[in-house]
């Protein structure tokens, strides 16, 4: 049996989509599980959609996720180059081969002519596709147009009245009627191939044995099957992965809100928001694949050992941000102090908290880790550990800040300054003592004191919070709140 070779072939049109990450992951896992080769190929033949810097971002995103490819840009391999824009002569050669065999033909229609054709078909209520008017051109006319530099394309000639079938690993047998297929453009007027030609030629020349890609490419598959037949090449195995869906079953294609939480579609966004690569990879692995057990937390090695295409389902997989948050929180709690510092530091620096010491960062994290879904929460949810409160929660202020509150907090302030050791027992003793001497319940001190220190009404235990903030910060914030709130 030949060595398994799979590929991830993204287009550099922007950041890596989470659906693309899943496709890359499944290819990676299949290759590693079967001792195969994982190839990265950049499909950049659509120059109108090319985004500068996208290739480097794709590579960095894969590296961040731990998906190391064996062959591709920057690594080389025996069947390169691995960037399609560097292979245009190969595609042109193969397209001309099909023209010579009568399996493809030149067409010189202008955009205006094609638009008129579409409108006429729409008027007649017939399926829109090329009407093959170019096949009426004589060889001499074709030659004259080519020599005169008339812009033209090369189209594949699709057979009529034929059923084209594929046995998909995930979907089983899928059949297509050739009469529904358009004569696909293989080479555009700018000389660049379309996805369809370049994809098939590269998969064959690079020895790809299994094409694992998203369901959105299933309608293109009969065209690819025809190209394999026309060239006389052996078919690879195909596996079309289910779509990623929003909870309302719509296709996950752009950023939106889900249960009050922002749901992004690009890996880069989750990376910036402090989601751990291990968690995101674990999460997307389960979007369509069922391990057949109750296990939900998998290391990359465990995923490799358990993965199989046969356990990938056909139905669309719902992207549940709450599930990702839970999974990420599990991984966060397992971070070592050194790992935490390394991963959280860029997020804090981006927020302007570069001067925070490692010891203080670790102390904040250990106090808050059971409440964090991502490292970004250190800034968005627990930002009061790193900067003075700029506002105070209105509901808590109205409920807990009374005319006598300032006097009570002055007593707390004095007690904190008198402590020999600023620890949990000492802080608790001061607050309990002031409550008793003032004849008020503990909550009459704890709630306004929390508001003064953090600006919000919720958070970790107040005494532990104060120890982490430190005496000077607590005193300064009490003074500020009393001045601002009265």
Please count the CA atoms within 13 angstroms of the CA of 62 that sit on its side-chain side. 25
Strand partners, 214: 241
What is the DSSP pairing of strand 37-40 with strand 5-8? parallel
- CA nearest to 308, candidates 285, 280, 279: 285
Query: Which helix (H) or strand (E) element contains residue 86?
Result: none
- Nearest 5°: CA angle at 59, between 58 and 60? 95
Tokens read off for 370: 């059971």
Tokens read off for 380: 């968005």
Residues involved in catalysis: 254
- CA nearest to 242, candidates 306, 171, 189: 171
Strand, coil or helix: what is 425? helix
Q: What are phi and psi of 443, to 5 degrees?
A: -65, -25
Tokens read off for 175: 């059949």
Q: What are phi and psi of 375, to 5 degrees?
A: -65, -25
Cβ neighbours around 473 below 10 Å, total? 14
Strand, coil or helix: what is 166? strand
Strand, coil or helix: what is 391? coil
- CA nearest to 130, candidates 104, 149, 151, 148: 104
The CA radius of gyration of the chain, in Å to the nearest whole number, is: 31
The b/e string for 201-225 (b: 16+ C-beta within 10 A; e otherwise) is bbbbebbbbbbbbbbebbeebbbbb
| Cα dihedral across residues 271, 277, 282, 285: positive or negative | positive
Provide DSSP, 305-329.
HH--GGGB-SSPEE--HHHHHHHHH
d(CA 448, CA 443): 8
**Tokens 């069947």 found at:** 79
Query: Which helix (H) or strand (E) element contains residue 164?
Result: strand 163-168
Q: Which stretches of 273-381 are DSSP H helices? A: 277-285, 300-306, 321-333, 337-350, 358-368, 377-380
- Nearest 5°: CA angle at 236, between 233 and 239? 150
**Tokens 């005169």 found at:** 148
Query: Which helix (H) or strand (E) element contains residue 63?
Result: helix 54-65
């Amino acid at each position: 049996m030949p060595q398994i070779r799979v590929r991830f072939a993204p287009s550099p049109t922007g950041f890596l989509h989470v659906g693309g990450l899943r496709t890359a992951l499944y290819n990676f896992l299949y290759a590693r599980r079967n001792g195969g080769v994982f190839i990265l190929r950049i499909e950049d033949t659509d120059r109108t959609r090319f985004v500068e810097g996208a290739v480097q971002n794709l590579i960095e995103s894969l590296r961040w996720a731990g998906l190391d490819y064996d062959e591709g840009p920057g690594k080389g391999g025996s069947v390169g180059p691995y960037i399609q824009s560097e292979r245009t002569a190969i595609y042109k050669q193969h397209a001309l081969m099909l023209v010579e065999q009568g399996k493809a033909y030149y067409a010189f229609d202008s955009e205006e002519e094609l638009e008129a054709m579409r409108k006429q078909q729409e008027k007649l209520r017939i399926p829109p596709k090329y009407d093959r008017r170019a096949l009426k051109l004589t060889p001499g006319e074709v030659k004259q147009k080519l020599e005169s530099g008339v812009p033209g394309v090369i189209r594949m000639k699709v057979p009529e009245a034929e059923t084209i079938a594929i046995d998909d690993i995930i979907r089983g047998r899928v059949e297509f009627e050739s009469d529904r297929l358009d004569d696909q453009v293989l080479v555009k007027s700018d000389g660049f191939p379309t996805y369809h030609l370049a994809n098939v030629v590269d998969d064959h020349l690079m020895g790809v044995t299994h094409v694992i890609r998203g369901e959105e490419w299933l309608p293109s598959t009969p065209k690819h099957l025809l190209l394999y037949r026309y060239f006389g090449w052996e078919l690879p195995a195909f596996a079309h992965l289910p779509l990623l869906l929003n909870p309302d079953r719509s296709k996950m294609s752009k950023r939106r809100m889900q249960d009050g939480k922002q749901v992004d579609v690009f890996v880069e966004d989750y990376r910036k928001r402090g989601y751990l690569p291990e968690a995101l990879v674990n999460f997307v692995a389960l979007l369509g694949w069922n391990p057949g057990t109750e296990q939900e937390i998998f290391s990359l090695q465990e995923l490799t050992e358990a993965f199989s295409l046969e356990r990938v389902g056909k139905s669309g997989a719902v992207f549940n941000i709450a599930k990702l948050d839970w999974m990420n929180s599990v991984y966060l709690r397992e971070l070592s102090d050194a790992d935490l510092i390394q991963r959280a530091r860029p997020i804090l620096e981006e927020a302007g908290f570069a001067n925070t010491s490692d010891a203080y960062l670790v102390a904040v994290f250990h106090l808050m880790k059971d409440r964090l879904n991502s490292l970004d929460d250190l800034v968005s949810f627990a930002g009061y550990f790193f900067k003075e409160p700029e506002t105070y929660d209105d509901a808590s202020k109205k409920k807990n800040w009374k005319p006598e509150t300032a006097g009570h907090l002055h007593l707390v302030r004095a007690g904190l300054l008198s402590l020999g050791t600023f620890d949990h027992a000492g802080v608790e003793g001061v607050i309990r003592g002031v409550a008793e001497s003032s004849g008020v319940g503990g909550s009459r001190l704890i709630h306004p004191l929390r508001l003064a220190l953090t600006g919000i009404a919720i958070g970790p235990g107040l005494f532990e919070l104060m120890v982490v903030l430190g005496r000077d910060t607590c005193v300064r914030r009490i003074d500020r709140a009393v001045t601002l709130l009265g």
